[in-house]
């Protein structure tokens, strides 16, 4: 992004990517904790973790929009790009039977 646009746009892209990285880190931390719950409880924990992730992204986005004022398009593009990158994480994980 920095090679095609000015520093302000690259910084906005980086902010969006870092916000999504932080939120996904919290979300995936739950995956690596060894817990044995019923499938219903696991599904509930999954949805609550996803809700917490989206809440963190929304809250941080509002705070950044008020105080730092990043460029909107690169910020949103950074959020979306990192979220799409998360779709490829299962390919990198080792399958356990």
Mean pLDDT per block of 10 residues along the chain (97 residues) reads 74 87 81 71 80 88 89 87 79 65
Cβ count within 10 A of residue 90: 8
Q: How far apart are CA 75 and CA 60, in angstroms?
A: 12
User: What pLDDT shows up at residue 22?
Assistant: 87
Q: What is the pLDDT of residue 91?
A: 73
CA distances to 25, 77, 84 from 12, rounded to whole Å, are 20, 9, 18
In this prediction, residue 20 carries a pLDDT of: 87
Rounded Cα distance, 81 and 41, in Å: 30
Q: pTM for this structure?
A: 0.72
What's residue 32's pLDDT? 67
Give me the pLDDT at residue 13, please: 86
């Amino acid at each position: 992004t920095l090679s095609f646009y000015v520093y302000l746009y690259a910084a906005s892209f980086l902010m969006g990517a870092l916000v999504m990285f932080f939120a996904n880190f919290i979300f995936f931390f739950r995956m690596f904790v060894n817990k044995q719950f019923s499938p219903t409880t696991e599904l509930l924990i999954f949805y609550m973790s996803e809700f917490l992730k989206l809440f963190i992204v929304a809250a941080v986005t509002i705070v950044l929009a008020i105080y730092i004022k990043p460029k909107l398009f690169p910020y949103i593009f950074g959020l979306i790009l990192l979220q799409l990158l998360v779709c490829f994480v299962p390919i990198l994980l080792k399958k356990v039977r």
